[in-house]
Amino acid sequence: MKLGEETDIVDLIVRVFHEFVAPQYSREGVTEFRKFVRAEDLADRFKAGNPIILAQSEGKIVGAIEMRENSHIALLFVEKSHQQNGIAKELCRRAIEVCRKRNQNLQRITVNSSPNASSAYQKIGFICVGNEKTVNGIRFFPMELLLENYDNSQSVNSANPKKPDYPDVRGS
Ligand SMILES: CC(C)(COP(=O)(O)OP(=O)(O)OC[C@H]1O[C@@H](n2cnc3c(N)ncnc32)[C@H](O)[C@@H]1OP(=O)(O)O)[C@@H](O)C(=O)NCCC(=O)NCCS
């Protein structure tokens, strides 16, 4: 991302969150999540070093991933109209690449997956490492991806040559 894009990123996240995630949360969970995705806080976390990588299509942001502590997926959201095109997979691949460069001994990537997203994470290679939890109204499955089993060499573009309209993914 570039500074100045935080409002557009948060707009995307909030829109997708309300459609796919919020219906499974209590009111407390929705409020808690909204506190985490304020534009100024996102910009501050980016300035402090969190990798935030975006997917764009026709000049619009259609996907975003934020990593924290170079090992944990804090946010991953893809525009409804662009889902199931490999964008989340490619954002994970790029984010893992950045994290691995920063920590060459990195062994695992973790995520607290919202219930609706756990199948997609499983297909990317994550496994559940605990039962469903609820903290401050936020429901999630703790999941992890062991990097020794992860092939980070194939981008979605090369893995799916039949998807010529694949959006541009660019890094932090
Ligand atoms: C979860 C999410 C990020 C996935 O994004 P996406 O770009 O559609 O995912 P991809 O296209 O990269 O899919 C990766 C794999 O998961 C599969 N997949 C994607 N969405 C899926 C779903 N809802 N159910 C089952 N499998 C799914 C894809 O088929 C693909 O599998 P394959 O590699 O075997 O073909 C997106 O659905 C989303 O933004 N959901 C709402 C927000 C959310 O819950 N974010 C996670 C917060 S922790």
Atom of ligand 1 nearest to the CA of 17: 42
User: Does the beta carbon of 76 sit less than 6 angstroms from any atom of ligand 1?
Assistant: yes
Distance 31 CA to ligand 1 centre (A): 24
Distance 118 CA to ligand 1 centre (A): 8
pLDDT at 81: 97
Tokens in use for 66? 């934020």
Does the pTM exceed 0.75? yes
Distance 120 CA to ligand 1 centre (A): 4
Residue 45 reports pLDDT greater than 70: yes
pLDDT at 170: 63
Atom of ligand 1 nearest to the CA of 85: 11
Tens digits of residue pLDDT in 65-103: 999 999 999 999 999 999 999 999 999 999 999 999 999
Tokens 């806080």: give the residue. 41
Q: What is the mean pLDDT of residues 45-52?
A: 97
Distance CA 87, CA 91 (A): 6
Tens digits of residue pLDDT in 126-168: 999 999 999 999 999 999 999 997 877 766 544 443 343 445 6
For 163, residues 6+ apart whose C-beta sits below 8 A from its C-beta are 85, 86, 156, 157
